[in-house]
Amino acid sequence: MAYVYPTTAIELELSGWRLGIVGASELGTTTKLAGGGWADVTTDLLEDPIVLDYGFHSDHPSDRVAPPGTLTFGLRNDANNSGNQLGYYSPNHASKRLGFDFGIRARLKQTYSGVTYYWMGTLSQIVVEPGQYEGRRVTCVAVDWMDVPMRNTAPTALQVNKRSDQVFSAVLANLATQPTATTVRIGNETFAYALDNVPSNVKALGTFSDVARSELGYIFAVRDQTAGQTVVNENRRYRSSVTALLVTLDNTMHMLEVPGDRGDVLNHFLLTVYPRRVDSGQTTVVAKIDVADATAILVGQTQTVFIDYTDPVQRDTKIGATNLVLPLVAGTDFHFTANADGTGADLDANFTVTASDKGSEV
């Protein structure tokens, strides 16, 4: 749990927070609740526990990128809610609240000793409990921005002589949905080549993980005092440079336990290095596609195919390239045939080919 308490004593003011929902959707919905602002739905909350879970779940050295955070809460769906409508929080109901559907934003506001923090996410699960004799309740789960890189790819050009924060920012810029705020620390490491071994179908969260583990830094989403959605990229030295105490233990803190186990003490690291050979001159490489993966292209159709670079001698060995020379000569650099097995009529003259370099593939 990524909780940071700004005071010496923890003061969780349950009366000082509210849950708001706005209809500005990442799915393109333009309909908004409460005239485009935040609608307070506190009166519609059930007495079920409201669970906010985000940040890192362990302190293992390999855990460098936080998983998507979640906010779980329940809303009453009977006619005694704030809209006086049965089915007010059922997305497919005729009386549903305007704009309430998947993808709208949910915001949790919490106040600690006069300092207010926001957590914001988008609705990912809406579980409606129907039936005349059932509870007429709706359980909702909202996810924070870390859900975006987990579900989306972000193909990025090869990064040459870039710091880890620059690589992170390059991948982030290629995601369609951006966080409302970011905090990016300058990286300690500069990589000669980065993202040269990342295929286009890899999710951005996996790429973030490679960047964070290479830097020994952290990437995560946190609450803040304004936007509610700040994504942080930390270098490995930032935490050791923080001198101010985040929590002070004193007698005003009750029932606080700090577990300790010598098995959790890190006294040995195993570092695996993968050597890389870099050719300074121009090298002939091969973009390999198996016959089994051959694709059919209809008349007038445009199709995009990603093909990995391979070593000309060891065809199963994937490699990367920095500057791609594209002669694109029919019959030499590409070949289209009438049959998927490479036989039949030569169709090269019927196709226009455009190629671009993606570091590890074309």
Q: What is the mean pLDDT of the chain?
A: 77
Give 361's pLDDT tier (boundaries 50, 70, 90). confident
Question: What whole-number distance in Å separates Cα of residue 23 and Cα of residue 99?
Answer: 5
Cα–Cα distances (Å) from 279 to 188, 285, 316, 319, in that order, read 26, 12, 19, 11
The Cα 326–Cα 324 span in angstroms is 6
pLDDT category of residue 134 using cuts at 50, 70 and 90: low
Among 15-29, 178-192, 206-220, 276-290, the least confident range: 15-29
Query: Among 28-37, 101-110, 205-214, which stretch is predicted with the lowest mean pLDDT?
Result: 28-37
Domains along the chain with CATH numbers: 14-144 (2.40.10), 150-244 (3.55.50.10), 283-362 (no CATH)
Query: Within its chain, how far is the Cα of 258 from the centroid?
Result: 31
Residue 165 has pLDDT above 90, yes or no: yes
Q: What is the pTM of this model?
A: 0.69
Task: Please check the confidence at residue 147 and state whether its pLDDT lies above 90.
Answer: yes
- Minimum mean pLDDT range among 38-42, 204-208, 293-297: 293-297
CA distance 278 to 176: 33
pLDDT at 10: 25
pLDDT band at 291 (very low <50, low <70, confident <90, very high): low
Residue whose C-alpha is closest to residue 103's, from 44, 147, 149: 147
Bridge partners (DSSP) listed for residue 286 = 310
Mean pLDDT across 63-91: 89
- Report how far residue 12's alpha carbon sits from residue 48's, in angstroms, rounded to the nearest whole number: 18
* Mean pLDDT on 201-221: 91
24 pLDDT band, cuts 50/70/90, is: very low
Span 91-104, mean pLDDT? 83
Which is nearest to 105 in space by CA: 38, 6, 172, 47? 38
State the pLDDT at residue 3: 38
Confidence of residue 262 (pLDDT cuts 50, 70, 90): confident
Please give the order of strands across the beta sheet that includes 70-76: 39-40, 19-22, 105-112, 115-128, 137-143, 70-76, 51-53
What's residue 104's pLDDT?
Answer: 83
Least confident of 150-159, 249-258, 313-322: 249-258
Q: How confident is the model at residue 27 (pLDDT cuts 50, 70, 90)?
A: very low
| H helix count then E strand count, the chain | 4, 14
Q: Which of 130, 122, 126 is nearest to 140 (CA)?
A: 126
State the pLDDT at residue 290: 63
Report the pLDDT averaged over residues 178-193.
90
pLDDT band at 268 (very low <50, low <70, confident <90, very high): low
Query: 323 vs 198, 282, 359, CA distance in Å?
Result: 16, 9, 8
pLDDT of residue 17: 44
Residues 121-148: what's their mean pLDDT? 85
Asked whether 100 and 91 are in contact (CB, 8 A), the reply is yes
228-247 per-position pLDDT tens digit: 889 999 998 887 776 665 56
- Count the residues in the chain: 362
Which pLDDT score is estimated for 22?
Answer: 53
Whether residue 183 has pLDDT greater than 70: yes
State the pLDDT at residue 110: 80
The CA angle 40-44-72, to the nearest 5 degrees, is 85
- Identity of the amino acid at 90: S
Structure tokens at 356: 């671009």
DSSP 293-319: G-----TT-------EEE-SSSTT-B-
Neighbour-count burial of 218, counting CB atoms closer than 10 A to its CB (0-12 exposed, 13-18 middle, 19+ buried):
buried
Q: Which residues contact 181 (CB under 8 A, 6 or more apart)?
A: 224, 226, 227, 229, 230, 231
Tokens of residue 273, six digits: 């290095």
Token digits for 189?
A: 């490491």
Q: 289 pLDDT band (50/70/90 cuts)?
A: low
Give the model's pLDDT for residue 173: 94
**Residue 210 in contact with residue 274, Cβ under 8 Å?**
no
Residue 271 CA to residue 42 CA, distance in Å, equals 50
* pLDDT value for 311: 73
Q: Which helix (H) or strand (E) holds 168?
A: helix 164-173
pLDDT of residue 65: 94
Q: How confident is the model at residue 187 (pLDDT cuts 50, 70, 90)?
A: very high
Average pLDDT (318-339) is 77
Backbone CA torsion sign across 50, 54, 59, 63 = positive
- Residues 188, 193, 194: CA angle, nearest 5 degrees: 75
pLDDT of the residue at 221 = 94
3-state SS assignment for residue 19: strand
